[in-house]
Structure 1
């Protein structure tokens, strides 16, 4: 990327676009796996399709949540800034 600063709207838009693309990919993979499982294992029932699509959407939601809120990433610590004591206004 270039060294120019990006606006916050562009950063949020890029994160949102990544989340939407991730949702489509993971839901599609879940749907495909559900169709295959339904045809091969479950005698053409519909619940494996819905279940695996839901798992894909849930995984995409979790990734998107971590993208927008990095404090939810397991193993990360949020460092609290220490405040230095300000000089007393009375000059003591």
Structure 2
């Protein structure tokens, strides 16, 4: 039994409309069920924005370091490939 009466399907539909996400009713219904199940297992309520993030960096500084590190890595790979050619 769900521990609260949140309307996950309605919240998901509003989130999708706000963010320009296209999904069928069936897809939204399935996702809403998953969120409801996850919410029942957790102590704190589900935040839809956090649920749909593809990444999670605790601070902006760490996020910037991660991006810079990837750029440096790609530049290093390009240099090594140019030498090998």
**Same fold? TM cut 0.5:** no
Which structure carries more helix by proportion?
A: 2
TM-score (norm 1): 0.29
| Rg (Cα) greater in structure | 1
